[in-house]
Amino acid sequence: MQSIPEELKETIGPDEQIRFYLRQRIYHPRINIDSVLITTDRIFLLHLHALGIRKDHTDFNFKDISNVVLEKGVLRSTVRCVLRYGGEPLALSGLANSDAEQAYAVIRENLARYQPAVNGAA
């Protein structure tokens, strides 16, 4: 696993475990993402500003994501997370197919833990 930036390590809770880290520039319509970190509880997006001098992050809790979709291309894929309370989906675009498949699998696994249990009894 690649070296995880200190600013992300400091935000991880004591019970959170790192499941996937990808350092790749992703150009989302509104934000530039430098890297993505997926833990057992959240998805972190690290943003760079002012030529990398200033950094901040956004995180999405799996409780706030209702679904994840893998849009697979020939060489590159997109992982799209549908947010539970509306808004534009979180899209991680231009990922190598293997990275997208791994990110999708980790997100899907964690979403299953946070989805409300469906009770079949009426």
Predicted confidence at residue 57, as pLDDT, reads: 82
Residue 53 lies in a domain: yes
Residue 121 lies in a domain: no
| pLDDT averaged per 10 residues in sequence order, the chain, 122 residues | 72 90 70 82 81 73 94 94 88 91 96 71 46
61 touches 79 (CB < 8 A)? no
Return the pLDDT at 42: 94
Structure tokens at 34: 């430098």
Q: 77 in a domain, yes or no?
A: yes
Q: Does a structural domain hold residue 122?
A: no
Domain count, the chain: 1
Neighbours of 95 (CB within 10 A): 22
Q: Report CA-CA distances (Å) from 53 to 27, 44, 46, 47.
A: 18, 19, 13, 11
Does 13 fall in a domain?
yes
CATH of the domain at 63: 2.30.29.30
Structural tokens at position 78 = 């997109």
Residues facing residue 36 across a β-bridge: 22, 45
Model pTM? Answer: 0.81
Domain that holds residue 83: 6-114
